[in-house]
Amino acid sequence: MKNVLILFGGCSPEYNVSLQSAAGVIRSMDREKFTPVLVGISEEGDWYHFSGSIDSIADGSWQADKSCAPAALTPSRGERYLLVFEGEQVKKIPVDTVFPVLHGQNGEDGTVQGLCELKGIPVVGCGMLSSALCMDKDRAHKLAKLADVTVPRSFLLQQGFCPEEALNHADSLGYPLFVKPVKAGSSYGVAKVSKRENLLPAVGAAFSYDDEVIVEEAVPGFEVGCAVMGNRELVTGEIDEVELADGFFDFTEKYNLITSKIHVPARIPPEKSRKIKETAKTIYRALDCRGFARVDLFLTPSGEIVFNEVNTIPGFTAHSRFPSMMEAAGMPLKEVVTKAIELAVES
């Protein structure tokens, strides 16, 4: 029986999404193999050991539970313990691996993964390097391009950029364009810009999420996703397809599906599905991913496959895209969670 420390919450705009994913992971853990050790991270960044109900995680009330006690990983690299501070007493809970169910900044960006690696504790999913790279849309695209993967044309803006140069670059790409914070998840700060006069306001809004902004051409076609699992030998789920009635796949659509639908498997020819899976594996390896990740791409009307982004900690609710793709390939969520943990211990 292994103790799996599950981190949830976090000081990120995606705090509430993390709570839903964590509840899904905890409910799906095989209790004959693993014992969950729960640590909630408040929106201020404080760590608390939590032994209350899963429902209170899902509904966001976990922090009010009487079981909450300040916690931290042991400072010694040679010891794998969670230290729980209960009044004047300090309880030590052994930790075999850490499963960060954290989305976006301060969780999916390599920070927590680096902490675990520093402590010598195996981490479920991608490590520090791949997490940081995948969070960075600009540098992820550059590495994917070196692996002969097609990426959208784009340009990078940093604080203090020249507005006129940005407008000229945008004119050369052609409208519509997408403006995105370089390091943010769940489409926070992303805007579709159809007119020149709307570019700079969109860039300003994106800078509120990150200190770098990427401006990309709008790729025609539709978005497809590929769930990938593994360290050396890789397996994939079925390809899914995002059908949009209007606009783009923003935060509201990702979590509410108001006008969009997710088709699993995607309504595409088998040969094209196979090619997307191979492209996803190429990207996964190029970015040094481990454990699992969801690779998002575009399929154009001409059949071209274009890289969009990699989510190193995708949603883990029963209705999230990653589990749905794996389920369609014959691996239910309980098996996915077990495999993810086993891959961490293996690596």
Q: Are 180 and 216 in contact (CB under 8 A)?
A: yes
Catalytic pick from 18, 130, 320, 324? 320
Measured N-to-C along each axis, helices 137-146 and 128-135 cross at an angle, to the nearest 10 degrees, of 100
Is residue 179 a known part of a binding site? yes
Is residue 56 a known part of a binding site? no
- Using the CB atoms, write b or e for 39-62: b if 16+ within 10 Å: bbbeeeeebbbbebebebbbeeeb
Q: What Å distances lie between residue 79 and 83, 96, 122, CA to CA?
A: 11, 10, 12
Catalytic pick from 12, 14, 253, 327? 14
Catalytic pick from 56, 131, 186, 273? 186
Is residue 198 a known part of a binding site? no
Is residue 219 a known part of a binding site? yes
Catalytic-residue membership of 14 = yes
Is residue 223 a known part of a binding site? yes
Is residue 187 a known part of a binding site? yes
Q: What is the DSSP string of 118-173?
A: HHT--BSSS-HHHHHHHH-HHHHHHHHHHTT-----EEEEETT--HHHHHHHHHHH
Is residue 180 a known part of a binding site? yes
3-class DSSP assignment, residue 328: helix
Among 98, 96, 64, which Cα is nearest to 79's?
96
Question: Token match 């991608």: residue?
Answer: 126
Is residue 211 a known part of a binding site? no
Is residue 217 a known part of a binding site? yes
Is residue 275 a known part of a binding site? no
Is residue 220 a known part of a binding site? yes
Dist. CA 328–CA 315, nearest whole Å: 16
Handedness of CA 144, 150, 152, 153 (dihedral sign): positive
Question: Token match 């050396």: residue?
Answer: 232
Is residue 309 a known part of a binding site? yes
Catalytic-residue membership of 304 = no
Task: Please give the structure tokens belonging to residue 201.
Answer: 């306001």
Is residue 222 a known part of a binding site? yes
Is residue 308 a known part of a binding site? yes
Q: Are 294 and 322 in contact (CB under 8 A)?
A: yes
Q: Provide the pairing of β-strand 81-86 with 89-94.
A: antiparallel
Task: Please give the structure tokens belonging to residue 119.
Answer: 């402590």
Is residue 296 a known part of a binding site? yes
Q: Are 159 and 182 in contact (CB under 8 A)?
A: no
Dist. CA 108–CA 103, nearest whole Å: 5
Catalytic-residue membership of 186 = yes
Is residue 131 a known part of a binding site? no
Dist. CA 58–CA 147, nearest whole Å: 40
Annotated binding site for ATP: 137, 178-180, 186-187, 216-223, 308-309
Annotated binding site: 137, 178-180, 186-187, 216-223, 296, 308-309, 311
**Active site residue ranges:** 14, 186, 320
Annotated binding site for Mg(2+): 296, 309, 311
